[in-house]
Amino acid sequence: MPSPTPPIAPLLIRFGRLGDMLLQEPLLHLLHRRYGAPCKILTRGLWTASLYAAHPDVGEIRQLRSRHAPLALSPERWRAIAALRRHEGPVYVSEDTNRSLMHIDWLLRFAGVPRARCVFVNDIFGGTGEHWVDQLLRFGQTTPTAFDAAAYPWCEDDLRTSPQLHLDADDRADAEAWVRQRGFAGAPLVLLQPGNWKMLKWVRRRAPDPKFWPPERWVELLRAMRADMPSAHLLLCGSPPELPVLQAIQCEARSAKVEIAAGDLPIRRLLAVMARAHSMVSVDSGPAHMAAAVGCPLVTLYGHYSPRRWSRRSPCASPSVDLGGAPQTNAVSDIAAATVIDAWRSLYLVHARAA
C-alpha cells in the first residue's frame, strides 16, 4: 500500500555499545515501515556503520568518537549539531542511561530541535521481565506530538521480534578467504568468546568481573569439544585487549586446534564467519547478539543480568541456550563447566539430527 503521506526519514539516537546497537534493529525496521524512508542514526563509537552496512532500513549514520571532547575542539560534534538542525523528521531517543541522556539533551537543545518532534524510550515503561526488543517495539509505535500518528500507521507484519543482519556476497567471500588463509577450511568451526568490553575495567579495579568465566573452565569445555568433535577447529575470539586471557586459555588447553582470533576479525568478517560456524559459546556480550542475528547456534553465559531482558533471539529459529542470570546467579563464575558442556552438546545433537 502506498504511504498516505510523503516519506520522511526518522532519526534514531542511541549511544550504545555493539550489542545495544544491534538490538535496535527491529526498531529501525518498524520506523522505516512507518515513515517510508530508511532511518538516520546518531551514535557514539565506530562500530555501527560496519554493523549496519548495506542494511535496507538504515540510511545515514553519524558516529561520534567521544562524548567528552570540548565542543570547540570537536568538529564532528559541530557537524552533528548542523545535521540535527537540518533534520525535519521525528527523533527517537533510545538511550536509557542518565549520563548519555544529558549529552543528547544538550545536543538537541543546542541544535534547536523542538521537543514536540522527539520521543524518549524512558517514557515507555519496561514491564517486569519484558525483553528489551519488545520494549523498543512499543517505543516505535509511539509518535512525537508534532506528527500525526494516523498518517504514519503500522501493522503486525512490521513488528520483527528478532534482530536481523544482512550479509552480502563480498562478506561471505572475505570470510571464506580468511578461513582458507588460517587453515580452517574443510572442518567444522566452533567459536568461543571468553571476554567482554568491561574486562579491563574490572582488572584495573582489581575486582571480580561478573561476566568472567575462569580459564580452567574454558579449558574443560574445550577438552569436551575436542573429544566430541576431534576434527573441529576451536577458535577463541576477542578484541586485542582480551588477548592475554585468550593466550592463557590456549596455553593450558595444549591443543594445536585451539586457535586465537584477536585482531583479524573485523565486524563484517566476524558476522560472516559466525554465519558458517557450527556453534558458539559466549559470555553475555555483543558478539553473542551478533551470532544469534546471523543464525549461529549459541550458548550464552549470564552473570547478574537476566536473560528474560537480554536473551539472544534468532530470526531463523536457530537453537540458543541461556545459562545463569538473575535470580539464579550473580556471576558467570557460578556456572559449572558440566552445565555449559551439556548445553553445547544439545546444540551438537541438533546438528547431528539435521545431518
Q: 254-298 pLDDT, tens per residue? A: 887 899 998 899 999 999 999 999 999 999 999 999 999 999 999
d(CA 208, CA 205) in angstroms, rounded, equals: 9
Using the predicted structure, report yes or no on whether residue 126 has a pLDDT greater than 80. no
Percent above pLDDT 90 for the chain: 73
pLDDT at 70 over 70: no
Which residues, in sequence order, are CB contacts of 48 under 8 Å at separation 6+? 21, 41, 61, 63
**What's the CA angle centered on 307, arms 39 and 192, to 5 degrees?**
85
Domains with residue ranges and CATH for the chain: 11-158 (3.40.50), 169-354 (3.40.50.2000)
Select the more confidently predicted residue: 332 or 70: 332
Report how far residue 95's alpha carbon sits from residue 14's, in angstroms, rounded to the nearest whole number.
5
pLDDT of residue 352: 53
Give φ, ψ of 306 to 5 degrees: -85, 130
Sign of CA dihedral 54, 57, 59, 64: negative
Tens of pLDDT, residues 203-230: 444 456 788 999 999 999 999 999 999 9
Q: What is the pLDDT of residue 293?
A: 95
* pLDDT score, position 208: 67
Mean of the per-residue pLDDT values for the chain? 90
- The pLDDT tens digits of the residues spanning 313-350 come to 999 889 999 999 988 888 999 999 999 999 999 987 66
Residue 300 has pLDDT above 80, yes or no: yes
Distance CA 99, CA 116 (A): 22
Q: No. of H helices and E strands in the chain?
A: 14, 11
Q: How far apart, in whole angstroms, are the C-alpha atoms of residue 342 and residue 226? A: 14
Kindly tell me if the per-residue pLDDT of 10 is higher than 70. Answer: yes
| Banded pLDDT at 355 (limits 50, 70, 90) | very low
Residue 188 has pLDDT above 80, yes or no: yes
Whole-model pTM?
0.92
Residue 289 grid cell: 547478539
Amino acid, single-letter form, for residue 239 = S
Q: In the prediction, which pLDDT does 74 show?
A: 78
pLDDT score of 129 = 77
Q: pLDDT at residue 180 above 60?
A: yes
Identify whether the C-beta of residue 94 lies closer than 8 Å to the C-beta of residue 22.
Answer: no
* 304, pLDDT greater than 90: no
- How far apart, in whole angstroms, are the C-alpha atoms of residue 102 and residue 60? 23
Q: For position 141, what pLDDT does the model report?
A: 97
| For the ranges 66-70, 88-92, 349-353, the one whose mean pLDDT is highest | 88-92
Worst-scoring range by mean pLDDT, 18-22, 74-78, 90-94, 311-315? 74-78
Q: Beta strand pairing status for 118-120 and 91-93? A: parallel
State residue 278 phi and psi, 5-degree precision: -65, -45
Q: What mean pLDDT is predicted for residues 184-191?
A: 94
- Per-residue pLDDT, averaged over 101-107, amounts to 92
Q: Which of 287, 260, 263, 259 is nearest to 275 (CA)?
A: 287
